[in-house]
Structure 1
Amino acid sequence: MSSIESGSHRPPIVGTPSSDGARWDGRWLDETGTAHFAQRLAASPAITNATLTLAGDLGAGKTTFVRHLLRALGVQGRIKSPTYAVVEPHRAEAGPHGALSAWHFDFYRFGDPREWEDAGFRELFASPGLKLVEWPERAAGLMGAVDAALTIGPEEAPGDDTDFTDGPRQVTMQAFTDTGRRLLAALNT
């Protein structure tokens, strides 16, 4: 589905903040909407030292969002899913906020909390930079403070059991800290 429907242009990202400003609910009509959402977050200086969790079923679009966000922050080269490696480090040398370190975690296969210490994750989460965490519930109680949680899911029509791999997404972002609220503010500019 494109952002142009029925002959009229519709924005690829549509959303509204909650009344308390701690939550944003919206939708991505297509991958262009995902990219626009990522670009808005990347424009906020708060992203440079944030921890974001990403929730959604397999195929929801979590890694696609991460790729768009890291590109918008100036990361060059291949951006692959850390599904088997658990973490992929990234570095932007000349992004919109200067040099930036980022780590993309995927705890889908994470099973033993002792791995946390052995792998040095405590040090990574304590260091400056962006942390993007897929399947955070598998590392519950081990991560530090989370600034914001992004939940992505398919937009389903009632009674429709179609594969929504490329369809619109319902998106919610909830802020838990001042950093998270600054990120939410970037979505409303």
Structure 2
Amino acid sequence: MSGATRVKTLRLSSPEETHALGVRLGGLLRPGDFVGLIGDLGAGKTHLVRGVAEGAEVPRSEVASPTFAIVYPYSGRIPLYHADLYRLTNYDDLYSTGFLDMVEAGDGASLVEWLDRIPETAPREHLRVILRHAGGDVRELTAEAFGSRSAELLDAWLK
């Protein structure tokens, strides 16, 4: 459990189900929330991210994979800061992007792909979502809440 306040696991049977779960999470996010995503290539992170952005009322045309830009700020119901750490090697690389300043400002929610590459990116209070292949289109999602707000978010998200 690695210090998590609360952990929930479920199976998702399709990319559409993963997207819909993201929409639900995006509708619940508040400024200051931090969600870190972990999973191999093709595990469903992009489907979840696009759903979260839709749920946060970010126009679909704005949502892109920030693999090359590293950080994308989106304007929606609340600001949504989307980062992809895949191409970074250490914390200093991330620091130079300005992403950490956005997180510290606390005016929006943060969504970080490949959190396992630079785990110290996550603040003490965060929600970690791990996606794993479970055969075909099926994915296993494990969500770990660290802190009281994240536990509240997890409970509302995966009732």
The alignment's TM-score, normalised by the length of structure 1, stands at: 0.73
Structure with greater proportional helix content: 2
Structure 2: which 5+ runs fail to align? none
Question: What SS does the corresponding residue of 1:38 show, helix, strand or coil?
Answer: helix
Instruction: Say which of 113, 119, 130 aligns to 1:140.
Output: 119
Rg larger in 1 or in 2? 1
CA apart distance, 1:42 = 2.9
1:168 aligns with 2:147: no
In structure 2, what is the Cα distance between the partners aligned to 1:174 and 1:143?
A: 13
Runs of 4 or more, structure 1, over 4 Å off, are none
Structure 1 letter corresponding to 2:65 = S
Question: What SS does the corresponding residue of 1:49 show, helix, strand or coil?
Answer: coil
Counterparts of 1:109-128 in structure 2 under 5 Å? 109-128=87-106
Compare relative contact order (CA 8 Å, sep 6+) and give the higher one, 1 or 2.
2
What is the aligned partner in structure 2 of residue 17 from structure 1?
none
How many percent identity over aligned positions?
27
In structure 2, what is the Cα distance between the partners aligned to 1:100 and 1:39?
A: 14
CA apart distance, 1:138 = 2.3
Q: Is the 8 A contact 1:125 1:143 kept in 2?
A: no
Structure 1: which 5+ runs fail to align? 1-19, 93-98, 157-163
CA displacement 1:59-106 (0-9 Å, x = unmatched): 1110110001111110002311111111111110xxxxxx31111111
Between 106-115 and 57-66, report the one with greater CA deviation: 106-115
The alignment's TM-score, normalised by the length of structure 2, stands at: 0.85
What is the aligned partner in structure 2 of residue 91 from structure 1?
75
CA apart distance, 1:174 = 0.7
Aligned length in residues = 154
In structure 2, what is the Cα distance between the partners aligned to 1:153 and 1:171?
A: 7
CA displacement 1:42-63 (0-9 Å, x = unmatched): 342x544211110110111101
Structure 2 letter corresponding to 1:52 = V
Between 167-176 and 35-44, report the one with greater CA deviation: 35-44
